Each structure stands twice: as structure tokens, then as C-alpha cells.
Chains A and B, each alone.
Chain A
Amino acid sequence: MADRLRGLLRWETALVLLLAAVAIAGSARTGGTFLSGQNLFYLGLDIGEIALIALPLTCVIVAGEIDLSVASVLGLSSALIGTLWNAGWPLEAILPFVLVVGALCGAVNGLLVTSLGLPSLAVTIGTLALYRGLALVLLGDTAVADFPASYTKFGIEPVPGTWLPYPILACAVLAVIFGVLLHASSFGRATFAIGANTEAARFSGIRVKRTKLVLFVLTGAVAALAGIVYTLRFSSARADNGNGLELAVVAAVLLGGVSIFGGRGTLGGVLAGVLLLGGLRNLLILDDVSTETLTVVTGLLLLAGVLANRFLSSVPAGRRQPP
């Protein structure tokens, strides 16, 4: 019984309660607009890319690494779509190709981290510049916008009969896959062990390098997918798409209760974190709160989250072991 109660006393629970509070306050303050189908559709579109990238990134952070290059991979895939489209490729070929390139970008990150043992923070700051740079090389200052409406209309139309945007649908499918992968599979067990104590994981016969490599590749591929979503829903392929998005994604993951040192976190918490950040932002904008306040609130939420997370967790101190 006490066990049950203690189990409930978690950050994830607090997040869900906060979400509910935002929803109630939101519909009260905006006279229902906040929870209207149309607004939820916009909200879903707004958080789509962040939610997508947050899924694999959560796994990477749980494994004790980080990937700051995700937004650049998004930009690179956007630029690539534009370039290939201009070159006359059919979209049906471009999209899978872009996913492969995204996976390759992830593989480069992963190989630098695993085979050379470089810290991922440093590596992905480097590839953040590199991939964004390659995007600029590809597309320069031009924008490609003449994508067929059949491919771009999901940016303005929900799934028929609902208010669900298509990217959220994709995200939900991926969330189930990543949830099972992280929380129910032996791969996930290995991921947690690596994040909490890499050496012990290696001594347990876990293939540390391979696991990390797979996670980076997945992150790259999903970031490229987010790039596809971004490009098509705005119908605009540009090299600077998604600039600076990496901090927003990392913030959402951390708000979701994932330990930056690895070894702890849940995918559900992260999704709640994404929703909370996006929902609050949407609400504040709808409520005509100034951009300054919006920025401050985002930061304070992150601070409050990490502090609350610490005081709610019953795990003893001394878990500051880095990866």
C-alpha cells in the first residue's frame, strides 16, 4: 500500500496533474477556445516535430549521451528534399532517401562517440555546425516551395473526422514503438544499464557501443522524419529550417523527468513534458501574454520541473555520476 502511494509520488504524476491544470485554466481563460478542436489541431501541429524527435532523444539521454545535432539533421533533410525536388526526383524516392541520410548522420555521431570514445556533447556540437553547414551548401539562400498540395495539405487538414493532425498520428505510432523498446525490451534494459553505469553494463556483456550506435542512428532517422514533416507542412524547404530547435527538444525531454546523467526517465513523462511545454505556450499566446513572459515562463517551468523532480524522487542522493 505504502509502496503504491510512493509509486504515485512521482514527477510523471505531477506532470499529468499540471497538464490537467493547464487544460482547465486554459479553457476557462479563453472561453473554450483552448480546448476547441481547431486549437488542439494547431497545438498538435506545433509540437509535432518536437514530440517526434523527443522519442529517440529520450533513449539517447537515458543511455547517458546527448544529441544536439537533431535540429541540424532536420534542416539538412529539409534542404535535401528541396535540392532533390529541384533536380526532378519524385517525392516517393526523395522521402525514403532522406530518411536514410538522416540515419547516416546519426551513424556519424554514433561512430564518433562509440569508436573514438568522444563525449557526445562535444561531438554533436560539432555536427550541429556541420550538418547545418551542409544544408546551406545544398540549398544556399534559396527556398523550394512548389511541393504538390497532396503532400502538403496535412499541414492544414486534420485526420478526417477528428482534430488530430497527421504528424501526431505518426508520433503516436512511434511512441508506442519506442515505449516498448525502452521500457519492455531487453534493448531498453541495456539502455538504462548503460546510462546508469557504462562499465558495469560492459562487464555484463551488454554491447555498449552497438546499443549507443543504434540509438544515434534512430535519432538521426527520426530527426530526418521530423524534417520531412516540417518541410511539407510549411511547404517550404530551406536550409535554416528548425534552427535552434535542439534546445527546445532537450528542454522538453528534461522537463519530462529524464535524468541528464542517464539511467533514469520514462517516455510517458517526456510526452507529458512535450505536451505541457507546448500547451502552456499555446495557451499563453492565445491569452496575449507577451513574448518576454513566455520566455521566462518556459525557463521557470524547467527549473521548477527539475527541482520538483528531485524532491519527489525517493532515490538517495549521490546519483550525480555522469555517463
Chain B
Amino acid sequence: GGTTKDSAGQQGNQPGNTAAANPDAKLKTGLKVTYLPKQVNNPYFTVVGKGVEQAAAEFQAAVKATGPSEASAASQVTYINTAAQQRQDVLVLAANDENAVAPALKTARAQGMKVVTLDSDVAEDARDVFVNQVDSGEIAVKQVELLSKAIGGSGEFAILSATANATNQNTWIDIMQRELAKPEYAQLKLVEIAYGNDDDQTSFQKTQGLLQAHPNLKGIISPTTVGLAAAARYLGSSEYKGKVALTGLGTPNQMREYVKNDTLTSFALWEPAKLGYLATYAAAALASGQITGAAGQKFKAGNLGEYAIGRSGEVVLGPPTVFTKDNIDRFDF
């Protein structure tokens, strides 16, 4: 007997978004918004936060940016509980762990708070809407494409990821591996997935290790801004510069130098501030009753225009931007 995985069975039914939405409801002003990034002091989320603030300013909401100083799985729970106790109207968060925060989010939602996740989602029944920066498939496919182009379609390559637990990273890596099964990538061989823990030094050393471990390595994909910057810095100052191709996700400000000195030719990213902006509008739309989070509902996101909610409450920001020597100077983030 006993409580086993099998006996426990499926649980956690979807709390259906049954309440009726009123697409014509006015966007409420004076909402209380809590923005909870994975960790404060993370520059990427600081830029996202700018978008949150910009959106909030447009409909006179009060924003509180808060969060833990370390991105551990459970460290956000305290802040979620606090937001609930402070009777905040909406919570915009990027989750460190999709499960650990779920119970707290459910409690908070039961008290009437609207929850929008961005960047990294949580269990579906613990939030109202997830604002995805890009379509997971699209960004993964894009990176494989960029790499294939950079190394001429054949050879060994490695992936330098963030932490081993990062949800979005793992989703992308899954899709990349499926993409590699396609005939046009038959010559590409993924030899290793390394984890730089989103830590600059670790990523730097892991890059170095990859190059030593695989003498025939032709390229690296780093789908994380920290990893890409570190890998570029290592390549740029080593004798592998120009011989090993690099691509992935990065911010223009960090990568500008390396694109210009030909350490890498191209990389991709969405605009983080827009992500925060969109998520905040989605949150406001929820709080105003314009949407409930059900698929097919539409809302207007300020100057970004109209967005529709897709499958399982997901809203996609849009296609990623590819940065190259030619266009990089047009971006500043």
C-alpha cells in the first residue's frame, strides 16, 4: 500500500476560467502592481522592469519592484505571500521554479490577485496568463538556423545553457534537438550540453572546457545572455577566435563589441522592455475584467497593439530580432 506516484494519480484540476470576460471594460487606473523578477540585481530583469514601469505609468498604476537577491527555487514564495497580504491587484512575475511558487500563487489568486508570468512560466493552474517572449519553437529553430549558417551546415557543436533547472532553457534545448533530426541538419552533431549556471565566471570556464574537450568543435549555441557574453569574451581573447562560431541569445549592449570585432556574426533576442510592457498590460486587462485568460480573448497592449491569448493562456510577444553588425547600433538595451 502506501502513497506512491501511481496511487496519487493526477491531481490539480484546471480552475477553469469560467468568469465571463467583458472586452469593452475600461482599463482600470490606480491598480497596485507588484513586479517580481527571478532575482533583483539581475540586469536583464531590470530592463524588463523598465517596460513594466512604462506600461504602469500609462494607466496610472503603482508599481512595486521587489524580490529575492538570489534566484533559488523557493525564495520568491515569501514575496508572493507578502504581495497577497498587501492586497496588491496584480502580480507580474518571472518564476524561478514552476512548482515551488504554485501553492502560494494559488492562495494569492484565491484572494483575488491576478497573476501574469513572463519569461519563465509556472504550473498552468497557478497563473492567469503567461507572456512568452517568443514562441519557444521559433526561437529554438532560429538559433539552430543561425549556427548552421555560421559553420557552413556541418560539424560538431555544443550548447552552453544557464542552470540545469531553467524551464525555458530546457524547453528550447528540447526543440533544438528535435529540429536537428531534420534532414537539412543531418551534418550537425550536438556533442555536449554544458551549464554555466548563468554565472559569468562559470560560463567562461565551461566554454574553455568545451573547447578543450572537443578538438573538432565548430560552434557553440548559448541560449542565455550571460552565457553568450562569457563565451564571446573567452573566444575573443583566445586563439579560437574566428575559428569557432558562436551564436545564441544576447543583449546588443553586451555583444556589440564582439559583433564588431568578428567574434560572432549574429545572435538573437527579443526586446526585454517590451516583454515587461506587454505583461503589465495583460495584467491590467485581467484586473479590469477585459479578459479572463481563456484562449482566444483579445486585449490592447498600449503602443504594441492588440494581442490574442493563445493555447493554455499564453501570449507571445513576437518574433525575435536577429542582431548583426549592420543593425546592432540601432538598439540600446
Contact = CB atoms under 8 A, between A and B. Distances in A.
Contacts of A143: 73, 97-99, 165
A291 B4 contact: no
B65 to A, nearest CB: 9
Interface stretch (B50-58, B100-108, B238-246, B287-295): B100-108
Contacts of B170: 141
B6 A88 contact: yes
A291 B8 contact: no
Interface string A225-237: 0000010011110
Most buried by B among A38, A238, A241, A282: A238
A143 B73 CA distance: 10
Interface string B90-102: 0000000111101
B83 to A, nearest CB: 10
A90 B3 contact: yes
Interface in A280-323: 282, 285-286, 288, 290-291, 294-295
Interface in B100-132: 100, 102-104, 106-107, 123
A238 B164 CA distance: 11
A92 interface: yes
Contacts of A187: none
Nearest to A136: B164
Given A148-B11, A291-B67, A235 B72 contact: no
B205 interface: no
B303 interface: no
Interface stretch (A101-109, A149-157, A256-264): A149-157
B297 interface: no
A282 B77 CA distance: 12
B97 A42 contact: no
A39 B165 contact: no
A92 B1 CA distance: 9
Given A146-B5, A148-B8, A240 B85 contact: no
A91 B4 contact: yes
B64 A234 contact: no
A85 B85 contact: no
A178 interface: no
A299 B77 CA distance: 22
Contacts of B69: 291, 294-295
B3 A240 contact: no
Contacts of B79: 285
A12 to B, nearest CB: 27
B107 A156 contact: yes
Contacts, number: 118
Interface in B1-29: 1-8, 11-12
Most chain A CB within 10 A, of B68, B78, B79, is at: B78
Given A88-B4, A143-B99, A288 B66 contact: yes
Interface in A31-90: 33, 36, 38-39, 42, 46, 85-86, 88-90
A174 interface: no
A236 B100 contact: yes
A236 B99 contact: yes
Nearest to B81: A42
A234 B100 contact: yes
A141 B165 contact: yes
- Interface centre among B7, B66, B103, B163, by most chain A C-beta atoms within 10 angstroms, is B103
Nearest to B87: A33
Nearest to A46: B78
B85 A234 contact: no
Given A91-B4, A146-B11, A235-B103, A140 B74 contact: no
A97 interface: no
A288 B64 contact: yes
Given A91-B4, A143-B99, A244 B70 contact: yes
A243 interface: yes
Residue of B41, B64, B79, B85 with highest tally of chain A CB at under 10 A? B85
Interface string A18-39: 0000000000000001001011
B5 A33 contact: no
B40 interface: yes
24 contacts: A33-B86, A42-B81, A90-B1, A90-B3, A91-B2, A92-B2, A93-B2, A141-B163, A142-B165, A145-B99, A146-B5, A146-B8, A146-B11, A147-B8, A151-B3, A155-B103, A156-B104, A156-B106, A156-B107, A235-B99, A241-B73, A242-B72, A288-B64, A291-B40
List the 7 closest pairs (A to B, CB-CB), nearest first.
Answer: A90-B2, A141-B164, A145-B99, A234-B100, A148-B8, A236-B100, A236-B99
Given A146-B8, A236-B97, A291-B69, 12 more contacts: A42-B78, A85-B5, A145-B98, A234-B77, A234-B97, A234-B99, A235-B100, A236-B74, A238-B100, A241-B73, A243-B72, A288-B66
